[in-house]
Amino acid sequence: MTQLMRPALHQIANAAPQPHAGLLLARGLAVWDEESGRRSLNAGNLLATVCEIEPSALYKAAYERWKQTTADRSRFAHFVGRVEGRLFAGLAGGGALETGVTTQHSYGMPMLPGSSVKGAARALARAIGVTDAYRAGLFGEDDDSAKKAGRSGGAGCLVWHDAWWVPDGKPYVREVVTVHHQEYYGGRGEATDFDSPVPCAQIAVRGSFHFVVEGDPAWAELALSLLRQALKTTGIGAKRAAGYGYLPLPDPKAAAEEAEVEQAHRAAERARLEDQLGPRRMALRDFAAACEVKAAAGRRDRTNTGLHQQALALSREALLEGGPWSADERLALGEILEQWLPRVVETFDKKDDWRKARTKLQIATLKGQT
């Protein structure tokens, strides 16, 4: 039996109120027993301790700070994906335990390194035939490859951030991987039906991860669309052929939070536009947008209903004597009505009907032609 931890540290390690999972996995095994049964028992007890760890208040605060830092939609694109089943990340870094998991250095919670996230998306982009030029922009390329194509090598136009684990319950879960042909896998013989299976305790991750890509919004959204497809179809991490590491659906709780954030973002953007354009220009913008949607859907309103009714109200308001509408704003309204109403109101595409409607809407007056 070999001591791996000084006896004076045993009590401290066992009494930690919120132990660091990464530190426990790397340094928490107190003794190495030469007898495999006792060694497995010691390792199993340590893994059981790690699997009981919950996110600390510090980690929750740090995660909320990260969400706030990346909330600017003009710089960041993000989504939260939920693991279907289990995920192995950093399995090869196990050391004495022969299992491992990638954890954040400061908080001990699981994470997916940005390089791994980027690699998953890049592999899918190559598999589905995304061109070299687009892949260079999304993921970067080395100097030799870039030189052959007449481009400059570099890291690409995006920053692929580490994916944070979303604090909800316990992140770690114990798994058992059973090796059936140990001698064969070690290159020391053939696989036979008489080989004894060897259960091997592993540690996996469950729950959801928050993925963030930073850069130009259009490029970042393209990157996220590739990442979503990669996480759904090819997965991330180890043992994907056995079904681990897939994130096929968004996290329901996070999706609701995202909807609230999106609603708040749209409200803030609308307030900014209204401050910039003013209430009347904003009303013209909204009316034109509604007409565009109606026309794209191939539908038309009946006269004196819907968009025609809104147009009549806008015309009366614009021509109200002593009202706040300027000549430029009335002209803009007249041009919008002429552009869109024949396309979104029944019968207005007919010459005689449109002439009568034009008179009723006082378009000539709006445009200053009378």
146 pLDDT above the threshold of 90: no
**DSSP helix/strand/coil, 80:** strand
CA separation for the pair 25, 5 (Å, rounded): 13
Read off the pLDDT of residues 9-27 as tens digits, 9 standing for 90 and up: 766 666 666 788 888 877 7
Read off the pLDDT of residues 168-210 as tens digits, 9 standing for 90 and up: 999 999 887 776 677 777 777 787 777 777 777 788 999 999 9
* Predicted pLDDT at 340: 92
* Predicted pLDDT at 254: 66
Tell me, what amino acid is at 20?
A: H
Query: What are the φ/ψ torsions at residue 247 (nearest 5 degrees)?
Result: -125, 80
CA separation for the pair 208, 254 (Å, rounded): 9
Domain boundaries, the chain: 57-265, 278-366
Range scoring the smallest mean pLDDT among 114-123, 233-242, 250-259, 273-282:
250-259
Q: Which residue has the higher pLDDT, 187 or 70?
A: 70
Which pTM does this prediction carry?
Answer: 0.67
Nearest to 215 by CA among 70, 66, 68, 116: 70
